[in-house]
Structure 1
Amino acid sequence: MALLQNLPYVPDTVRGRTVGRSFQAVFLMVLVSVLLVGAFGLRLFQLQVVEGDRNRQLADTNRIRLVPKRPARGTIFDRNGKILAGSRLSHTVSIWPIALPRDKWPMVINRLSKVLNVPPDEIQKRLEQAGYESIESITIARGISPAQATALAEYTNELPGVRLEAEAVRNYPNGDLAAHVIGYTGELTDEQLKARREQGYRLGDVVGQMGAESAFESTLHGTWGGQQVEVDSAGRIISILGDKPAIAGKDIQLTIDIELQRAAEAALGNREGAIVAIDPRSGAVLAMASWPTYDPNIFTTRITEAQWRQLQGADHPFLNRSLQAFPPASTFKIVTTSAAIESGKYDPGTVLPTYPYIQVGGIQFGDWNRAGFGPLSFPGAMAWSSDTFFYQVAMRIGGPTLIEMTRRYGFGRKTGIELGAEESAGLVPDEAWKQKNLDEDWVIGDSINMSIGQGFMQATPLQVANMFAVPANNGYRVTPHLLKDNEEHRNWKESLELSDATIDVLHQGLRRVITGGTGQSLNVPHLPPLSGKSGTAEAPPGLSHAWFGAYAPMEKPEVVVVAFAEHSGGGGGKVAAPMVLKVLEAYFKADQNAAAAAP
């Protein structure tokens, strides 16, 4: 009772509220539950109905993968059907960006970098270029070694999002043979990708970078295909949902004869320079050799820093010297002779005295033998390559006449060969060019120098071969070409409209070079009669360049061969003529073998 008496007094009204609070708690719980269920319902409605299509697409993106199929590149054949560039089976490594969250990729990239010996920054750059949400595979390395392929297979569980697959890569069965003609393939640069993305090219795609591989890229490349596949959480393919076959690139056949090319490169040896052989009837390029050279196979795998430094060396192995311009020297006397007779100022039978030198404006322009050759006709002057004979011709006909004929022969512009991106136009100097570049007037000394292919005159070995084709085919300028595309039905030549008298003088002079002039080393019994011309170009501050061009058989020419030796230090008749001889021997030996094998 004492305890009860000590309790405070509680009014009845307060006791009544305690009972009411219990009902209020229940009400609040019910209200909260209703609100929560409503909120979940609304969110579910939004996800399934309002945003249903988008979310289903995201779910599909996480389980559906687009696997691109690279098209097989077309094969390049020589004129006789021998493979110049084909394909071999190798392994390619690619990554699937969407397979992993962004924060998981660094670990995979570091592991992949060690196996492939590819800098992690390079892989990271590819990944960022594609985007972390990309569902397309991105090529990281191709042509990997068997050891690398084995290592990747062993580390499969540690390399999620990485794919190892078999793929055809470019193969050049002849190594560095005809490398400058064939070219090489390589992955698109960032600039190339921007320019070609609209054409269907993609990150990591392979394109022709030089030579025929580049010139005929649109034909050789083909069209991408692909598969839409369903994958599990580890990126393994569960099923194929759709398949678009890749369309292989088309094969092409070049005019090059690989055996004649082999002979040309052997004749050139390890001498900086070029050898070009063309058919003067059509302009078909039969051989185009340049040294130094390179092996295009090195670009089918990841090139090392040391290899790249070597390829960028001082001797410029990438440079196709057949398409680079140099002073054409006395081979150019073919043009000067044509200009003289066509001008009407010289009769085809003209005879002129020659001298140790000719003095003009206080300057002595000497003959190459420092003595002169006595009286000479046009054929005789070509046979002995008399400089003072042609100096006199240039002084009389004048610069504009000589320049006009030079351009008629096709000098000063690209020949039209498919390798135009690598070809120099050369240079035909004139009054306007000299004023613009040297702020000087054209003087008679410029005409004198130009008459013997010196001064500012520049021509490529291919242009010089084109020049020899004019007398060989009786007055037509041909368009050199590499694609053997029904060539007998194509119009590859244009008349220079030279008179019969001019053509006859050229025939006589070029033949006398061989029978009794500077090219007597080619006057051999085992070859058909041929015609030609030597040239030795001054090339300060280095040694002189050597030239020789010839065509055969003399009566019905079917091949022109021009050899050029850069800074050789010797005369054209001694240095370049033996190269031409070796190529002609190979050509006519093959011709004889083919005739003997015919039924």
Structure 2
Amino acid sequence: MMRAVHPTTVQPASKVGPKQTSRTVGRQYQSVFIMLMISLLLLGGIGSRLAYLQLVEGDRNKELAENNRIRLIPKQPVRGTIFDRKGRILASSRLAHTAYVWPLAQKYDTWDQTVKRLAQILNIPEADIRTPVEDAGYNSPTRVAVGRDLTEAQITAIKEYSAELQGVDVDIEHIRNYPNKQVGAHILGYTGELNAEELAERRKDGYRLGDIVGQMGVEQAYEHLLRGEWGGQQVEVNGAGQVVQILGQKQAKAGRDVTITLDLDLQKAAEQALGSRRGAIVAIDPNNGAVLAMASFPTFDPNIFSSRITPETWQKLQGQGNPFVNRALRGFPPASTFKVVTATAGLESGKYPPNTILPTFAYLRVGGMALGEWNRAGFGPMGYVGAMAWSSNTFHGQIGRGVGGEVLIDWARRYGFGSRTGIELKSEAPGLIADDEWKRRQFNWEWTVGDTINMSIGQGFTQATPLQVAVMFAVPANGGYKVRPHLVEDPSKSNSDWRESLNLKPSTLDVLRKSLRAVVTNGTGGALQSEGIPTPAGKSGTAEAPPGKAHAWFGAYAPFDKPEIVVVAFAEHSGGGGGSLAGPMVAQVMEAYFRGKNNPQP
């Protein structure tokens, strides 16, 4: 019986695998299990992250996504206009093109290229672009101004290089304009962009990065009125940064206009009279203290601050000798103009009544000092009128010595010396009326009779501003009232609200007025004898100012019987006498005032 033979399947050699055992089968299952676990872990991690982003960070991510397509375009308000007393424009706004950067639209890999190209076009340092953007934050949806008052060539270049300047655009804004250029610069001031320190101080008042604010003068003093309120738009942009639609907007509210007491024609006349002399001229209404003109030289054009100031421009300005200092508000020795105070102290004390006659000398010797008469000979016996007309040092030195330092100091302070007048300009200095306490503190030495005599002729430690001297001249002009200078009228106030009585005796006022009139008719003020000036009265002054040349002063008011204007001229280190140098400057301003009054312009 034959055995059945089963055929055997023979596999190709290439497909013959290893011999399978129970051990090798277990390893295959283990590998699958491991791969499965890894996959589950990966999927679980991704799922957890998605859940975190959706549930925990969902609102934040939504906001970021919105910011990528929704941006804010602030609309700066138009700043209020400043007018002179006759309604003529002193400061306004004009349209100009400004370059802006959208921080949120910048890409990390192209930001450096954008900065370099934009800095090249605007001709500014790269830091002037990086710093404001960094201050705003690269996630800020609000655009940042990096270049103002662009030229046509710069605007064209930004458009031509738009492919390299993603997130950069040009828009129109209002910038400050001063149509009369440097005329009235120290009164008007200028505007400028807030720096980081100023922003930190003003943020609580609603200021923001890029705000333009008043930095000096009326622009600074009345910032709260001129500023206005910001508006803006919330817009949706596409991937190219182009505005797709406006989502919402708030209209900007223009600032309030401000009318100041300055007279543009008189201001021009004052600046022309001052010319290139370093100094100041002040003109006020003696009845209420309204400032009609205030010139200071050297000066500047405030329009330069409406765009970026280059280091070269700034260096050139500083080389002109502190052009931003308003010398009408800085203290200098008032010289013989101060004799109005000395005469008042003598008359009011009762020790030297109106009929006083005193001898004058070549020198008045006190202790180790000698007060010289300016003519080096003396004038013989003199009364108040003659002594003021010829500006006798030894006459007024005897008055000062007789009344004593405390009385003289008291009257100086009653006239307003040694303290700010109260004008709105923040740069005003108080001047100096020294006393025993001050001298001991500064020099560890007591007040002496010599100090009193020096003060009696406006020398020594005494410092007065041209504006303070104008306030002093207003006292005899208006009948004994100290006025408070101001630049903006308050409709609710009358003349009496701007002044206070010094309670001078009628006899004191009579002597002062006759004395100041005699200065012009018979003394050192002959330069004011002009047909164009009705009956002026005034006083000259020449102050020693070592190591430089003497300062020249002259103050006057007119008409004598019913004064309308007080003018004070001061020339710093000019040399020459006050009557011969500063007197003609005062005459020129007064002639312009009365010429304008008699021939008013429409």
TM-score range, shorter chain: over 0.9
Name the counterpart of 1:464: 469
Aligned ranges 1:539-554 → 2 under 5 Å: 539-554=545-560
Which residue of the partner structure matches residue 581 of structure 2? Answer: 575
Measured in 2, the distance between the counterparts of 1:145 and 1:98 equals 26
The one-letter code matched in structure 1 to 2:499 is: K
Q: In 1, distance between residues paired with 2:22 and 2:581?
A: 127
| SS of aligned partner of 1:158 | coil
Contact in 1 for aligned 2:298/2:320 (Cα 8 Å)? no
Which has the higher mean CA deviation after the structures are superposed, 457-466 or 214-223?
A: 214-223
2: CA distance, partners of 1:35 / 1:347: 110
Alignment of 1:443-482 (within 5 A): 443-482=448-487
Given candidates 91, 107, 112, the residue that maps to 2:113 is 107
Partner of residue 205, structure 1: 211
C-alpha separation between the residues in 1 aligned to 2:86 and 2:395? 45
The CA RMSD over aligned residues, in Å, is: 2.4
CA-CA distance at 1:189 after TM superposition: 2.1
The equivalent of 1:430 in structure 2 is 435
| Unaligned segments of structure 1, at least 5 residues | none
- Deviation readout 1:462-490 (Å, 9 max, x if unpaired): 00000000001111111000113327536
Partner in structure 2 of residue 383 of structure 1: 389
- How far the C-alpha of 1:266 sits from its partner, in A, is 0.5
* Counterpart in the other structure of 1:531: 537
Cα gap change, 1:533 to 1:20, in 2 (>3 Å): closer
TM-score, structure 1 length as denominator? 0.94
Change (3 A) 1:371 1:39: closer
| Cα deviation, residue 528, structure 1 | 1.0
1:237 aligns with 2:259: no
CA contact (8 A) 1:79 1:484 kept: no
Q: Secondary structure at the match of 1:569?
A: coil
Distance 1:4 1:251, change over 3 A: closer
Residues 1:566 and 2:572 are matched in the alignment: yes
Tell me whether 53-62 or 19-28 shows the greater mean CA deviation. Answer: 19-28
Contact 2:113 2:164 in 1 (8 A): no
SS of the residue corresponding to residue 86 of structure 2 reads coil
Q: Which stretch shows the higher mean deviation, 116-125 or 456-465?
A: 116-125
List alignment gaps of at least 5 residues for structure 2: 1-6
Decide whether the 8 Å contact of 2:534 with 2:558 is kept in 1: yes
Which residue of 2 is the match for residue 136 of structure 1?
A: 142
Counterpart in the other structure of 1:588:
594
Question: TM-score of the superposition, structure 2-length normalised?
Answer: 0.94
Change (3 A) 1:14 1:366: closer
Q: Which residue is equivalent to 2:4?
A: none
Structure 2 letter corresponding to 1:479: R
Query: Out of 300, 304, 307, which is 2:310 matched to?
Result: 304
- Whether the 8 Å contact between 2:92 and 2:176 is mirrored in structure 1 is yes
> Could you list the per-position Cα deviations for residues 518-572 of structure 1 after superposition, in whole angstroms to 9, with x for gaps in the alignment?
1122122332111111111111111111111110111111100000111111111
Which amino acid is 2:544 matched to? E
Secondary structure, in 3 states, of the residue corresponding to 1:157? coil
Going from structure 1 to structure 2, the CA distance change for 1:360 and 1:62 (only over 3 Å counts) comes to same
Post-superposition offset of 1:15? 6.4
Structure 2 residue aligned with 1:270: 276
Q: Which residue in 2 is equivalent to 1:354?
A: 360
Percent of residue pairs bearing the same amino acid type: 58
Moved more, 206-215 or 196-205: 196-205
Q: Are residue 372 (structure 1) and residue 378 (structure 2) matched?
A: yes
Which structure 2 residues correspond to residues 258-297 of structure 1 after superposition, within 5 A?
258-297=264-303
1:163 maps to 169
Separation in 2, partners of 1:110, 1:175: 34
| Counterpart contact for 1:102–1:132, Cα < 8 Å | no
Matched, 1:506 2:522: no
Whether contact under 8 Å (1:94, 1:137) holds in the other structure is: yes
Aligned residue in 1 for 2:3: none
| CA 1:19–1:401: 2 relative to 1, 3 Å | closer
Counterparts of 1:22 and 1:463 in 2: how far apart (Å)?
105
Deviation at 1:188, TM superposition (A): 1.3
Q: Give 1:494 shift.
A: 0.7
Count residues with an aligned counterpart.
591
CA pair 91-365 structure 1, distance change in 2 beyond 3 A: same
Amino acid at match of 2:464: A
Q: Distance in 2 between matches of 1:443 and 1:484?
A: 44
Amino acid at match of 1:157: A
Q: 2: distance between equivalents of 1:30 and 1:111?
A: 54
Aligned ranges for residues 389-404 of structure 1 at < 5 Å? 389-404=395-410
Instruction: Give the whole-Å Cα distance in 1 for the aligned partners of 2:552 and 2:492.
Output: 33
Change (3 A) 1:34 1:363: closer
Shift of 1:26: 7.8
Kept in 1: contact 2:533–2:587 (CA 8 A) = no
Q: Secondary structure at the match of 2:503?
A: coil
Matching residue's letter, 1:413? S
Residue 124 of structure 1: CA displacement? 1.5
Q: Which shows bigger deviation, 44-53 or 68-77?
A: 44-53
Name the structure 2 match of 1:325: 331
Distance 1:458 1:20, change over 3 A: closer
What SS does structure 2 have at the residue aligned with 1:303? coil
| Partner SS for 2:72 | strand
Task: State the SS of the aligned residue for 2:80.
Answer: coil
Shift of 1:198: 1.5
Bigger mean CA deviation after superposition, 410-419 or 206-215: 206-215
Seen in structure 2, the aligned counterparts of structure 1 residues 115 and 344 have a Cα distance that, compared at 3 Å, is: same
Report the 3-state secondary structure (helix = DSSP H, G, I; strand = E; otherwise coil) of the residue aligned with 2:437.
helix
Q: Once structures 1 and 2 are overlaid, which stretch shifts more, 230-239 or 336-345?
A: 230-239
Q: Which amino acid aligns with 2:218?
A: A
What does the per-residue CA deviation read over 1:202-238, in whole Å, with 9 as the maximum and x for residues that have no partner? 2222111111111111111112222111111221111
Contact 2:286/2:563 (CA < 8 Å) preserved in 1? yes
What residue in structure 2 maps to residue 257 of structure 1?
263
Preserved CA contact (<8 Å) 2:532 2:594:
no
CA contact under 8 A between 1:383 and 1:509: conserved in structure 2? yes
Give the conservation status (yes or no) of the 8 Å contact 2:418–2:430. yes
Displacement of 1:258:
0.6
**What SS does the corresponding residue of 2:520 show, helix, strand or coil?**
helix
Letter of the structure 1 residue corresponding to residue 367 of structure 2: G
